[in-house]
A and B are shown apart, each in its own frame.
Chain A
Amino acid sequence: MLSDDPATAGPVIALQDGSVAIDGRPVLRHLNLTVNRGEFVALMGANGSGKSTLVRTLTGLRPLSRGTLQLFGTDFGRFREWYRLGYVPQRPSAAAGVPTSVWEVVASGRLTRRRPLRPKSAADRAAIAGALEVVGLSDRARHAVTTLSGGQHQRVLIARALAGEPELILLDEPTAGVDLPNQEALAQALAVLKERGATVVLVTHEIGPMEPLIDRAIVMRDGQIAYDGAPLTDADVHTPLFGGAHAHHHAHPEPVSDHAVNVSSPVDSHPEVSS
């Protein structure tokens, strides 16, 4: 298939038999996932179930140890159309040493569509302004990011992903530790994206104000997909069916069902499952 092909028919994400190992430990095992154009997918599951790892795999930040990943019908190894992809990481990176304005952070997301050594075009500036408007932070454009609250910072990171006008947006727990007014602002921004026909994969612990947007829910459990189907409510996710997926953020010992021997000596600490 030609990479320039509009390819409106084919799936946006096609992961087949995908496995990921972190430091030799298998974390994701034999996953099959297909996401079609325009879908709004909520990816849920307990801490350590592998949902963050899955999203990072889909961006290429985690290499597959086996299986194949195709984005927009192109094998990931040959995928170069980065402007079609938008990524919102889990946490704002540690505050940088030099003051940085909100506008500058958002503008860095536009690099997917800019060639080096060329000035920003009018279209670039319009896209950056538009992205700030979608998350409701236009009036903060000239402020230093360090003056923002955690929820506002998270919205800046979403605007940064939007500045490249992507067709597929992957968000890694944008609502974690964000207060309700900011969650609602996030939901509004995502609603605008959905209207524009973007494909959204959202990792989340709680559904909250996102509920009306979600088309499909996927629940991860111990590195595998435990549920894939109609949207769930917050109450559903908390049932023991999904691996005792309490929405608690403090650590409950995870049930470890790995092939590896868990305790090799009485003084060994409990093996942790990293996400």
Chain B
Amino acid sequence: MIEVLSADFMIRAMLAAIFTGLAAPIVGTYLVQRRLSLMGDGLGHVAVTGVALGLLTGASPTWTAVAVAILGAVLIEIIRERGNSGGDVALALLFYGGIAGGVLITGMAGQSAARLQEFLFGSITTISVEDVWITMALAAAVIVIGIGFGPQLFAVAQDQEFAKVTGLNVRAYNLLLAVLAAVTVTVAMRTVGLLLVSALMIIPVATAQQLTRSFRTTLIAAMSLGLVASWGGLLLAAWSSFHVEGVSPGPTIVILALSIFALTWPLGAWLRRRRRRQAPFEEVAPLIHHSIQEHPHQHGENCGHPAIQHGDHLDYVHDGHRHASHDNHYDEH
């Protein structure tokens, strides 16, 4: 195992995985906030045509994929901005066109399906030195821009009209996010493959927001989870390769990310339920003073009844009643 880890191809793979794992969830956070979780998926489909064009013309598939994905992202953004009800269908057409075009052009280029599969499902262990550099540079650009323009991207995603009145160029920031998404898709293409790109962008965010209350912590937690999933998934695949044939890192990265989500979800559900139950009662004066004559139980800390803030005092929830201490007795609130 140690020899494998220090092998050149493995070091290259780990570098690519680390940078991709950090960059993808940043873009994913903005996409989830704007409820565009599937945009990465769509761009991944469009990028297939880009890869095929590279295979056909002999140009680097990475660069042709970047170019076509950016073109697709701008097109999606224009369709979205127009906001007509057919936008959804137009997006679907673009996605199918992308993947059909990709398969068609790959065939015309005389390339095998196996060659295309490297891009569809990732081939991180066969990544070349040049591709590692490109991956690291593009991922670093996404990280710097995604965090540097964070306040602006956040404001535009949060409330477009308000952002416009604060003087932000909303269209420019929308395009910036679309381009960032397109670049991320091509960066992650080598790691998890075009068909699983969206998973690395979205699942860490979905996991993080189970436990967080603010955008900033969600972003940071999603980046950490993306790093853990992509690096851990790669190591998992390397380790399994000693025992089972044919385990590739792309799927293990996504499965690991999903497993973390599955473990976090019950905790998130419990936290949300607790938060709802502990929300303070509305501060309205009671209609009548309704006191309880005799109450054998003494409410207090750890008495077993949930204590919930109600204005300036605590109400104890008790068999569907709300008991509030008043002088020497309890009131029904």
Question: Could you list which residues of chain A lie within 8 angstroms of chain B, going by C-beta atoms?
Answer: 59-61, 80, 82-83, 85, 87, 89, 93, 96-101, 103-105, 107-109, 111-112, 114, 116-117, 142-144, 147, 160, 164, 181
Contact = CB atoms under 8 A, between A and B. Distances in A.
B166 interface: yes
A225 B148 CA distance: 46
Given A60-B164, A89-B162, A116-B152, A98 B32 contact: yes
Nearest to B148: A117
A268 B154 CA distance: 43
B318 interface: no
B167 A80 contact: yes
Q: Contact residue range for chain B?
A: 20 to 34
A60 B167 CA distance: 10
Contact of B37 (A97, A101, A160): A97
B158 A108 contact: yes
Contacts of A105: 158
B283 to A, nearest CB: 7
B165 A60 contact: yes
Given A98-B205, A117-B148, A181-B283, 15 more contacts: A59-B165, A93-B159, A96-B35, A97-B209, A99-B209, A104-B214, A104-B216, A105-B158, A108-B154, A108-B155, A108-B162, A111-B152, A111-B166, A112-B167, A116-B152
B32 A82 contact: no
Contacts of A111: 151-152, 155, 163, 166-168
Interface in B197-247: 205, 209, 212-216, 218
Contacts of B157: 96
5 contacts: A82-B167, A83-B167, A93-B158, A98-B205, A108-B158
Most chain A beta-carbon contacts within 10 A, residue among B149, B158, B164: B158
B167 A98 contact: no
B158 A147 contact: no
Given A59-B165, A147-B275, A108 B214 contact: no
Question: Secondary structure of the B side of the interface?
Answer: helix
Contacts, number: 96
Contact of B215 (A60, A87, A101): A101
A115 to B, nearest CB: 10
Contacts of B275: 147
Nearest to B210: A99
Contact of A112 (B32, B35, B158, B166): B166
Contacts of A101: 213-216
Nearest to A59: B165
Contacts of A100: 33, 158, 214-215
B29 A144 contact: no
A116 B149 contact: yes
Given A93-B158, A98-B209, A164 B216 contact: no
A275 to B, nearest CB: 15
B215 A104 contact: yes
A156 to B, nearest CB: 11
Interface string B24-45: 0000010011110100000000
A164 B155 CA distance: 14
B263 interface: no
B161 interface: yes
Contacts of B159: 89, 93, 108
A181 B215 CA distance: 29
Contacts of B216: 101, 104
A108 B164 CA distance: 12
B287 interface: no
Contacts of A114: 151
A118 to B, nearest CB: 10
B303 interface: no
A61 B168 contact: no
A96 B213 contact: no
A109 B213 CA distance: 19
Contacts of B29: 98
Contacts of A108: 151, 154-155, 158-159, 162-163, 166
Given A93-B158, A108-B158, A117-B149, A61 B164 contact: yes
B279 interface: yes
Nearest to B168: A111
Contacts of A160: 162
Contacts of B283: 181
Contact of A109 (B35, B161, B166, B218): B166
A104 to B, nearest CB: 5
